[in-house]
A = this chain, B = another copy of it.
Amino acid sequence: MSASKLGATRTDVRANVRRVPGPCAHWGDQDADFIREILDLVGDKWSVLIIGTLADGPTRYSDLAYAIPRISQRMLTLTLKHLQRSGLVDRTAYPEVPPRVEYALTDLGTSLLSTVLALAAWSSDHHAEIRHHQTAFDAAGAPRNAS
């Protein structure tokens, strides 16, 4: 509703003619918010890496830290908590003398894994091509130091 209000507020000049009535053909106005919601969840720096690592089975905190070399304790803990909060991972603490905590993917998390894996596959398939495009683009527009 916020969209229709905003859209009507700005002006109605295009209300009679122009195409592109709504956001897009693939999702509605509020669907966009859902996507953003998921993107905020997995679009950050570490979530996907953690999910991928957790796919191998329940993993201890320190093992996660080892499996994802450049992550800081802060981000590991924080991201883990976010994922747990959203029901993607499950935390199990064992009341032992040397504290032991295991994190595991929930069913929900596993279902997201397949989608994320598809994205990972696409990344591997096209990263070279993207790199190439970026280099060509930079060579065409960036060199203001040339000449």
Contacts and interface: CB of A to CB of B under 8 A. Distances in A.
A56 B44 CA distance: 28
Q: Is the interface of A mostly helix, strand, loop or mixed?
A: helix
Contact of A43 (B26, B39, B117): B39
Contact of A31 (B18, B32, B123): B123
Copies per complex of this chain: 2
Contact of A38 (B63, B123, B137): B123
Given A6-B70, A108-B129, A115-B119, 16 more contacts: A3-B69, A20-B67, A24-B52, A27-B52, A27-B124, A31-B120, A31-B123, A32-B68, A34-B127, A35-B52, A36-B48, A39-B48, A43-B43, A85-B133, A85-B138, A86-B130
